[in-house]
Structures are given as C-alpha cells and as structure tokens.
Amino acid sequence: MTAPARLLDRLVAGYQRRLSPRKGWSCAHRVAHGGTSCSAAVRDLLARRGVLRSVVPTAARFVACYRAALLLAQSDVRGVCCCGGIPIPFRF
C-alpha cells in the first residue's frame, strides 16, 4: 500500500473507531443489502487499488448508500436483524 493510501486508511480507521459508533445510525447500504459498511468497503478499495483508482468506485458506493437510505426511509424500517448474513428488516 502506498503512503497516501496508508494515510487515508488510517483516517477511515479512526472514523470507524471514534466517530461511527457515536453517530447514532448504521451504514444504509449495509443495512439494506448486507455485507460491509461503506467505510469498510473504502478501506478495502484503498488496500487493493490505491488512492487514484479508488476514487470512482468510492463515489459509486456513496451514491448506492444514498439510494439505500432513500429506500429504507420509504419502507419505514427501524432496524435490521441478521440471520446468517441475510438482513431482515423490522419495524418496532
């Protein structure tokens, strides 16, 4: 991993450790589709592709997360229970 990629990876890791647990909501993409959160996906992209080749896929992931948030807002989902990797929305 290049030095700029390591720096960005450390910044995202700091976000995951310090800010994300305190913000009060989860990644909409992860809640709607399962899998990893956007921050974990960005870290993976940085490790595999480097900074420059990660820009477009990262932007595409954030757009997909925004669309997932809109989808969840329309469905009035309150939370998600995972059963073997399958997200199951609930409304109570």
Structure-block tokens of residue 88: 């199951």
Q: How large a percentage of the chain has pLDDT more than 90?
A: 53
pTM for the whole thing?
A: 0.76
Task: Look up residue 83 and give its two tokens.
Answer: 């059963």
pLDDT tens digits along 10-20: 999 999 999 88
Contact (Cβ atoms closer than 8 angstroms) between residue 61 and residue 32:
no
Would you say the C-alpha torsion 47, 48, 53, 54 has a positive or negative sign?
A: negative
pLDDT band per the 50, 70, 90 thresholds, residue 92: very low
